[in-house]
Amino acid sequence: MTKANWNYPTAIKFGPGRIAELPEALKAAGISKPLLVTDAGLVNLPVTQNAIALLRNAGIPVGVFAEVKPNPISANVEAGIKVLREGGHDGVIAFGGGSGLDVGKVIAFMAGQTRPMWDFEDIGDWWTRADPKGIFPIIAVPTTAGTGSEVGRAGVITDETTHTKKVIFHPLMMPKVVIIDPELTVGMPKFITVGTGMDALAHCLEAYCAPGYHPLADGIAVEGMRLVFENLPKVYANPNDVEARGHMMSAAAMGATAFQKGLGAIHALSHPVGALYDTHHGMTNAVFMPYVLAVNKAAIEARIARLAAYLGLSPSFEAFQHAVLALRARLDVPHTLADFNVDGSKRELIGDMAIVDPTAGGNPIELTKARALEIFDRAMEGRI
């Protein structure tokens, strides 16, 4: 597979074997004593241990922090900040899937701040409260192909006191260098491969459907979706297909680049369900996707017909909806929330949380509580 260097939206080293350039990337970012942040499930796997060995063999003293939950909470960040400060680290390697990447970035952001983390939630200009001199440099190394957090300027952390997912944002949270090495994703379990891949599709789809004029984001999003439709079934069937893994990693980065335009009801509902039921974020997006499409149809029908044509389908909303359902079925995505062990006991709370989620405003039609509950009910019942 081709190797490539991109400088959009940050410096990206793409291609098999590029992990070998991690010591060089640290030097370029001015990091001499990094803290590698990853999650508990990944830290002892060969993909992580090999990266740590690579650094130590290069004479780089690296610390490791892995107290990170799949849906990270503020306590994970606070513990990581303590390790960073006590270890005298001068930068962070955010390593792993969305949880490791997000927590690593927020730890680096909070390293030199004096205010509490929630003071920097992505509301208005709250990010200007931060001291930019207290933000440590970040190198990002994704090991999944989904969240795209490696090219993002924010981290999603759950406030465990309210069970609410909150976005911590600052422009300087963008990693200095990203290493996208598809060989690092070969060992992903099928459930994670599918969940993260459908997360990338959700990012591209919601960015494309979000209202407003942003042809740059739209162009990236449609090509990202093509890459997912063509390559996610390939990696599901053959986990060792490095070329298809690479295309999926590109799609993940493209989704996160595109969604600066906006997200929508898929994420607005997925966030509270994930926070309340501890479900996998990307797989929750995959469950909600066709139901949100159906409810949004009137506002997006012409746009989706254009997308369908680009994907080589009949140029209609129905053709795209069918393609989404067929992809979910092929990948064993649960068809309903009930199949995903989500019950209806927190229905009202989920409706209340969805309409105030930061992503709700990007839905192509207003996400009222009635509309959020309609989508939730459809997803519980399997009613497209």
Give the containing element (helix H, strand E) for 229: helix 215-237
- pLDDT band of 163, cuts 50, 70, 90: confident
Residue 32's nearest CA partner among 71, 80, 89 is 89
**Shared domain check, 92 and 151:** yes
Token digits of residue 347 = 């229905």
**216 in the Ramachandran plot: left (φ > 0), alpha (ψ -120 to 50) or beta?**
alpha
Q: How far apart are CA 294 and CA 301, in angstroms?
A: 10
For residues 314-326, give the mean pLDDT. 98
pLDDT score of 104 more than 80: yes
Cα 265 to the center of its chain, rounded Å: 16
Q: What is the chain's alpha carbon radius of gyration, rounded to the nearest angstrom?
A: 20
Q: Could you say which of 131, 160, 185 is where a domain stops?
A: 185
**Shared domain check, 228 and 82:** no
- pLDDT band of 248, cuts 50, 70, 90: very high
CATH of the domain at 350: 1.20.1090.10
Cis amide prior to 215 (ω within 30 degrees): no
Pairing between strand 11-14 and 34-37?
unpaired
24 contacts: CB under 8 Å, gap ≥ 6: none
**Shared domain check, 337 and 226:** yes
**Shared domain check, 282 and 136:** no
Query: Would you say residue 341 lies in a domain?
Result: yes
CATH of the domain at 104: 3.40.50.1970
On average, the pLDDT of the chain sits at: 97
The domain of 221 spans: 190-381
Query: Would you say residue 237 lies in a domain?
Result: yes
Q: Could you say which of 149, 168, 185 is where a domain stops?
A: 185
pTM, full prediction: 0.96
Cα 125 to the center of its chain, rounded Å: 23
Dihedral of CA 356/151/142/137: which sign? negative
**Shared domain check, 367 and 219:** yes
Residue 335's nearest CA partner among 295, 287, 372, 293 is 287
**Shared domain check, 101 and 227:** no
Cα-based distances in Å from 32 to 61, 65, 92, 148 = 8, 17, 10, 26
**Shared domain check, 198 and 337:** yes
**Shared domain check, 173 and 199:** no
Query: Would you say residue 203 lies in a domain?
Result: yes
Half-sphere exposure of residue 293: CA atoms within 13 angstroms, side-chain side = 27
**Shared domain check, 146 and 101:** yes
Query: Would you say residue 6 lies in a domain?
Result: no
Q: How far apart are CA 266 and CA 217, in angstroms?
A: 18
**Shared domain check, 247 and 117:** no
pLDDT score of 1 more than 90: no
Residues 144 and 185 sit within 8 Å (Cβ to Cβ): yes
179 beta partners: 13
Q: Could you say which of 152, 185, 218 is where a domain stops?
A: 185
Query: Would you say residue 148 lies in a domain?
Result: yes
pLDDT score of 2 more than 90: no
Per-residue pLDDT tens over the stretch 27-66: 999 999 999 999 999 999 999 999 999 999 999 999 999 9
Give the containing element (helix H, strand E) for 157: strand 154-159
Q: How far apart are CA 233 and CA 303, in angstroms?
A: 25
95 contacts: CB under 8 Å, gap ≥ 6: 36, 37, 38, 42, 48, 51, 101, 104, 140, 141, 143
Residue 43's nearest CA partner among 78, 80, 10 is 80
For residues 309-322, give the mean pLDDT. 98
Pairing between strand 4-7 and 11-14?
antiparallel
- pLDDT band of 249, cuts 50, 70, 90: very high
**Shared domain check, 141 and 46:** yes
103 beta partners: none
Domain count, the chain: 2
**Shared domain check, 359 and 295:** yes
For residues 356-378, give the mean pLDDT. 97
